[in-house]
């Protein structure tokens, strides 16, 4: 059985699924087996797609007009096609001529998979290069500390002198979550013994 899926962006009320519907019907999809969404391709919650994926069974073929009607990204598209393969459901895209029931379509699917893996590797490489460059410049990942060293020294002195964390937050104008995170970062575990000087770590 051929099952069709259509999608148009909700950004424009003038858009309709007429073009996709005509193409899918011409390809042999029964009008009763058409599912559609009026939503951006970037959205996760597409009820029409969910219904289509729940509807297809082993031996069926999910048909779309173009690849970009189905997946919000290359990796998302491949995830959907993989899930279809697990259910023994084939996939066909009319515009690109991709058909996993044929050897050429299966090859194209593997090429897409290789491209997605290449894209992920490049992204990871750029992230690692950025972190390395930042480290060479003396910067590390994460948000910069909100409490500067001078204020932190005063806060530690107050805490070591017996002031409560709540009082410190009020007197120094620091959020409790910020204080807790900062103390955890420097490894402060409680007031210093008498005669011990506080330090920012």
Task: Please identify which residue in the block is written with the tokens 């009820």.
Answer: 47
Q: Is 62 helix (H, G, I), strand (E, B) or coil?
A: strand
Residue 10 a catalytic site member: no
**Cα–Cα distance for residue pair 200/177, rounded to 1 Å:** 18
Structure tokens at 187: 């490894």
Instruction: Out of 9, 16, 164, 177, pick the active-site residue.
Output: 9
Structure tokens at 190: 């409680």
Q: How far is CA 100 from CA 2, 59, 90, 107, 143, in A?
A: 13, 12, 6, 8, 46
DSSP state of 9: -
Which amino acids are annotated catalytic? 9
């Amino acid at each position: 059985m051929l099952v069709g899926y259509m999608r148009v962006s909700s950004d424009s009320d003038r858009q309709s699924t007429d073009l996709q519907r005509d193409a899918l019907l011409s390809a042999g999809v029964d009008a009763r087996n058409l599912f559609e969404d009026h939503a951006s391709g970037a959205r996760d919650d597409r009820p029409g797609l969910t219904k289509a994926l729940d509807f297809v069974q082993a031996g069926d073929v999910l048909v779309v007009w173009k690849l970009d009607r189905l997946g919000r990204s290359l990796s998302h598209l491949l995830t959907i096609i993989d899930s279809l393969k697990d259910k023994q459901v084939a996939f066909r895209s009319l515009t690109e001529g991709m058909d996993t029931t044929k050897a050429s379509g299966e090859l194209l699917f593997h090429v897409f998979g290789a491209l997605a893996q290449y894209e992920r590797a490049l992204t990871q490489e750029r992230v690692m290069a950025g972190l390395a460059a930042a480290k060479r410049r003396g910067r590390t990942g994460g948000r910069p500390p909100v409490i500067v060293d001078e204020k932190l020294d005063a806060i530690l002195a107050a805490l070591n002198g017996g002031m409560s964390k709540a009082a410190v937050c009020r007197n120094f104008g620091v959020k409790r979550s910020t204080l807790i995170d900062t103390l955890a970062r420097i490894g402060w575990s409680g007031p210093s013994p008498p005669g011990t000087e506080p330090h920012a770590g």
